[in-house]
Structure formats: C-alpha cells, structure tokens
Amino acid sequence: MIVVVGCGVAGLSCAVRLAEAGHAVEIWAASLPPRTTSNVAAAFWYPYQAQPRARVLGWARVSYQRFGPLAGRPETGVTTHRLYDLYHEPVERPWWADAVPEYSRLRPGERPAGFADGFVFPSLVIDTRVYLPYLVRRFGRAGGRIVERRLHGLAPALERTPLVFNCSGLGARTLASDPEVYPIRGQLVHVDDPGVRGILLDEHGADGLAYAVPRGDHCVLGGTADPRDDDPSPRPEDTAGIVERCARLDPRLARAPRRAELVGLRPGRTTVRVEAEVRGSACIVHDYGHGGAGVTLSWGCAEEAIALARPYLHPVPRRRPA
C-alpha cells in the first residue's frame, strides 16, 4: 500500500501514475476537489516563477508532452491555445522556450498597442473544474481509494505504509515541518469571453501581472501574486486592478460582464521540493512548493517523484492474459 497525502493536481498526478502501474494507492486529504487550491488556478501551461530552472525545464517539458494527448477530449478539460507572451521592452528568448515545439517572435502588427516585444507558442489550458474530476475518475478506475482525512503530521500515514508521497502543498509547512513554505495569494476574475484570440500574458508589467485565459464561454483574468498574504477573500481594489491591466491586453475585457471573483493561496517556496526523505525503513517522497506553476509541472514532478521512490516500490505481478 502507498499513501499519497494531498488531492490537488500534484497528489492526483502521482496517485494516478502509481495506480495505473498496478500499485495499491490511497489518497489522504483534508480538502478534495472542488475544494482545493488547484481548482481555483487559471491553469495554463507556463513555467511561472519556479526554481530551480534546470529541473523546472525538464518537469515542464514532460508535463507538456503528457497534456498533449489529452487536449481536445471534452472529458479532460484540456484545450490547446496559442499563448501570446508580451513584453514592454525588447527581450531575449526565454530560458524555457526549448520545452515547446514552436516558439516565434511576434511581428509589430501582431502585438497589442504599448508592447515592444513578444512571442507566441502553442500552449494548453487546463480547466481544473473538469480536469481534476477526470483525474479522480482515472484514479478510481485504476483501483485507487480516496480518504477524506485531516492530518497534523505524517506519522499516521507512516503507520499505514512505509512509502508516503507528500503532495500537501501549503500544508507541507506543518506536515513536513518546512519553514520555507509560505502562501502566495492569487486573485482571479471570471468574465464573459468577448472573443479573446488566445492566452494573453504580461508577466512583467510595472503595476502587476496580467493574463487573460479563454475557457469556452468565459475568460479567466488575473492576477495577483502576493507573497505571505493568506487573506482568502476577494478585494475590490484587486478586481479593479486586474480588469484595468487586462484591458491593455484586449480593450474589450474592460466591458466584459463579470461572473465571479476567486482567491487561491498558492504554495510558495524558494525552490520546488521533489525529494526523497528516508526515515529508517520508510521513505517519504516530497512533491510540493510549486507556487503558480503547479499544473505546468504536475506530470514531470510526479514522474521524478515516482522514480525517487523506486527502491521502495514492490514489483507488481504481471497480469496473465485472459
């Protein structure tokens, strides 16, 4: 038996891979979809402010490759969109560009007014309202079991099994006694989609982050990234700022009817932690601290976490042909 702590995108990705490989797996979590931080995420493929770069590049590339075959299947919530990465001054090609199959510089007429440079590449939008239930169904079909349980440490999981995957996100501050974990408050605004041409992103604006992510009949606007701010309530001034910044990406967004305002607390850390911790004959594999890149790194981190656990994984008997 393997216990995965956490039922957001990191925990579900690990659990699905393990269960589909034939292992007996339980997920233990205090919050299940749709009540996870992952459910709030705008969730488009982009390695947003994650470190260390060398490892992030590999994780992001693997995730891109895993999401690709899921795109266009309604039951997954994954769709392909071109991402317009916009800048206020000329820039060099980003460090992560090799993770995607195409990456080209925008010509002047292809950029919104006020932007001096930009790139375009094929990205993916992962609608977590659909995608997380899809992962839950995959996990269940593979024989996995989900237990709604609040933990105050990892000892109860280690009493159940010698192999635990800690995918507890912000909860790792307590469960893993990790003082490096801190909340990053992110606010989003959902509006009717006026026909945005793709994912529009301005990560480096002087007055804050701006992105517009099309999701069918509506558009997710962001955002904020306030470190060590754990206020879960939407703030009117943040909503106004988000809409104002996004209107520079597409002026029609200023008038788009608003549907919802949401806040999520991302699990921040100086570096993403994917690491095996040996405790006697037991092993805890940590997979947390992804900040705003949790979905983008999910499959890559899951695969590395499982590779780290391999010495503790019992061989799965091959099924005989019927």
pLDDT in tens, 233-246: 999 999 999 999 99
- Which amino acid appears at position 109 of this protein? G
Rounded CA-CA distance 214/192 in Å is 9
Q: Is the pLDDT reported for residue 128 higher than 70? A: yes
Rounded CA-CA distance 177/108 in Å is 50
Q: Work out the mean pLDDT of the chain and round it to a whole number.
A: 96
pLDDT for 217:
87
Q: What is the dihedral of CA 91, 95, 98, 99, to 10 degrees?
A: -120
Confidence of residue 63 (pLDDT cuts 50, 70, 90): very high
Is the distance from CB of 189 to CB of 260 less than 8 angstroms?
yes
Q: Which listed CATH number (3.40.50.720, 3.30.2090.10, 3.30.930.10, 3.40.50.2000) goes with 1-78+125-179+269-322?
A: 3.40.50.720
Higher per-residue pLDDT: 212 or 216? 212
pLDDT for 319:
52
Confidence of residue 318 (pLDDT cuts 50, 70, 90): low
pTM of the entire structure? 0.95
Displacement of CA 257 from its chain's centroid (Å): 27
Is the distance from CB of 65 to CB of 45 less than 8 angstroms?
no
pLDDT for 315:
78
Q: Is the pLDDT reported for residue 320 higher than 50? A: no
Is the distance from CB of 199 to CB of 294 less than 8 angstroms?
no
Q: Is the pLDDT reported for residue 192 higher than 80? A: yes
Is the distance from CB of 40 to CB of 262 less than 8 angstroms?
yes
Q: Is the pLDDT reported for residue 64 higher than 80? A: yes
List the chain domain ranges.
Answer: 1-78+125-179+269-322
**Cα angle value 45/81/186 (rounded, 5°):** 45
- Helical (H) or strand (E) element with 134: helix 128-141
pLDDT in tens, 14-54: 999 999 999 999 999 999 999 999 999 999 999 999 999 99
pLDDT for 322:
40
- Judged by DSSP in three states, 75 sits in coil
Rounded CA-CA distance 11/5 in Å is 7
Confidence of residue 321 (pLDDT cuts 50, 70, 90): very low
Q: Which of 163, 176, 166, 165 is CA-nearest to residue 311?
A: 163
Rounded CA-CA distance 17/13 in Å is 6
